[in-house]
Structures are given as C-alpha cells and as structure tokens.
Amino acid sequence: MALNLSGYRAVQTAYFVKMVIPGYQTLLFSDDTKPRTINSEVYNNIGKLLHVSETRSEIRALKQEISLGLSGIPSGSIAEFLNHNPKGGTIEIRQAFFDPTADTLLNISGNPLLKFKGI
C-alpha cells in the first residue's frame, strides 16, 4: 500500500521492529530518537545503532530479502539473545512517517506502513 505524502512539505521517518523469539520474549525497538508508542506497544529507541536495508515497492507481492543490523549491543545482551536461538521467531518491520515540526505520527491511512513480515 502506497501512502500519499504529497500534501506534506517535510516528513520524518523511522523504522519499528518487533521480534518474537519463542520461549524468550518479544523485542520492540526502533531507529527513532526516543521511545515511541505504535499500535499500543512501546518501542525502545536505539537510534543509529539500528540499520534496515532498503526495500522496493512493487504492485504485486514478490520474494525479497531484507537485512537488519544492530550494533553497540552490550556483550552480555548478545550472549543472552543467542542463547535463546532467535531463528524461527517472527519479525515485523514497519516504517512510520511523522510531522517533523510537531513530532507526531501523520494521521493518514496505512501509517505506519508494514515493510516486512516473516520468519
């Protein structure tokens, strides 16, 4: 679904990632500058420590790859994460669009936009 952003002079974006790791927990984080509530869930900001690869917008569904990079994670947290085997967990990546002046989510249909949902 494409969002109509033509009526806005400036738009700020951020990615929001939800990872469900079976037998462990649900992780919610974003590359935003502050914690933010999206769909009644609070996403912790990790700013520039998160990288999400670019995606293509297509009219029809196509098989695509997306990469997610995290850096600056304390070594104790890495061990804890890997000990709970994240493989097989689900992940959703959403891109949200904000009014940079008011620092609020744009009130348009489809925002935040689901960019990826998979395992």
**Rounded CA separation 29/35 (Å):** 8
Higher pLDDT, residue 72 or 59: 72
The band of 16, judged by pLDDT with boundaries at 50, 70 and 90, is very high
**Rounded CA separation 68/53 (Å):** 7
- Scan for tokens 């996403």, then name that residue: 43
* Structure confidence at residue 50 (pLDDT): 60
* Structure confidence at residue 51 (pLDDT): 63
**Rounded CA separation 87/64 (Å):** 18
In angstroms, the first-to-last Cα distance of the chain is 21
